[in-house]
Amino acid sequence: MGTTGEEAREKRVTWAELYFDLVFVFAITQVSALLHHHHDALGLARALVVFVPVYWCWVGTTVQANIRDVDNLRDRLGILLVGLAGLFMALAVPGAWAGRGLLLGLAYWLARVVLLLLLVRVPGVWQGPYGAGVLVSGPLLVIGGLLPDGPRLALWAAAALCDLSAPLVFRRRLAAVAYHPTHMPERFALFLLVAIGESIVGIGGTAAESRLDAAELAAVAAAFTISAGLWWQYFVYASDAMRHAVEVADSRRDVIRRIFQYGHLALAAGVIGVAVGFGETVAEPWHELGPGAVALLYGGCALYLLTFGYTRWMMFRKVATTRLGTAAVVLALAPAMVRLPALVVLTTLAVVLVGLNVLEHLRVSRAAPEENSRTPERAVGGSV
């Protein structure tokens, strides 16, 4: 795809967007807390159903900022108003399945209305994802907030499916949207960094209240190694490749939908699972975790790695052998971890991730001649 003069001028993330992200730091913390208190199968479903509208509110604002110049009074105020709605949503999350369901629904609907109004001059904006948010998913969340648990879960799940399917349903209409190739990867990388930051909170928030003896400090070190390993996989081996994929794609719309809107939802969900798992492990290194905490810790890590298999295939039609193989190892180890001390569980996962990153480094170093050593294809990790 050729680069126009407008695209040649690199679009930068604005200060308003970065301030907006601070709301979602809090929102992710609230979703993690919800999952921490209820991490059985039903709790996982409820947390996911609540996380999707929070995430999609962020996605809608990011797309709006990508396709428009938002460094002006009107759009700054609009972004801040969406941020206020996001703050209301975050405050509602802990009681989303009790008395604050209506607040979550109304706050989400407000955010979608504001985003639609910011783009109201765009032809056909009603007949796309922004219109679907105002006319379908927003009302479903509001109505669900008035109902008991069972019907609420059904309606909120339908709202989440509406939001997630809208880019597919309106795929042809979105073909005319001119996405900026550098802004979008940076925004989604920042969102994932926020999610990874929650893993640090999961470590430090728990450890700060403990005795900090040698075993607990060892557990902190192992958990931090896991968090750093997850960061390394994305920001050393994948982020440049994702940006490159957008820049050269024949259809940026499809790359953005598959890699960023969908792929990063799974990446963030995996990291949140790991972060909640840390809260169950660091303060009590000699206690057995049980299946729920192991599922969050190892299942979240496996989901994160499996998603890289999906994104690499979507970008380059290549198999991420090392990441998929490591995900299989993590899942195979999980049942054996259920009755082991938390410190052993953490250390084992840390060793696996360090091993993966070492292997990726060696494969990348040997994958291409020196003149190609800085290309994005190499940066994706050299997995074949």
- Give the model confidence (pLDDT) of 120-163 as tens digits: 887 777 888 999 999 999 999 999 999 998 999 999 999 999 99
Total domains present in the chain: 2
Q: 351 and 292 in one domain?
A: yes
Is there a domain that residue 208 lies in?
yes
Q: Helix axis angle, 263-281 relative to 290-316, nearest 10°?
A: 150
CB atoms within 10 A of CB 336: 12
Q: 111 and 258 in one domain?
A: no
Q: 358 and 238 in one domain?
A: yes
Lowest mean pLDDT segment, chosen from 18-32, 52-66, 105-119, 356-370: 356-370
pTM beyond 0.85: yes
Q: What letter does residue 287 receive in the DSSP assignment?
A: S
Q: 257 and 166 in one domain?
A: no
Residue 260: domain span: 183-379
Is there a domain that residue 256 lies in?
yes
Last residue of a domain, one of 147, 176, 205: 176
Q: Residue 274: which CATH number?
A: 1.20.1410
| pLDDT exceeds cutoff 80 at 7 | no
| pLDDT exceeds cutoff 70 at 218 | yes
CB-based contact 168:257 (threshold 8 Å): yes
Residue 368: predicted pLDDT: 59
CA dihedral 60, 65, 71, 75 (to 10 degrees): -30
> What share of the chain has pLDDT > 90, as a percent?
72
Last residue of a domain, one of 122, 145, 176: 176
Q: 171 and 106 in one domain?
A: yes
- Give the model confidence (pLDDT) of 162-201 as tens digits: 999 999 888 877 766 778 888 999 999 999 999 999 999 9
Q: 20 and 83 in one domain?
A: yes
Average confidence score pLDDT of the chain: 89
Is there a domain that residue 116 lies in?
yes
Name the residue with higher pLDDT: 237 or 384: 237
Q: 220 and 291 in one domain?
A: yes
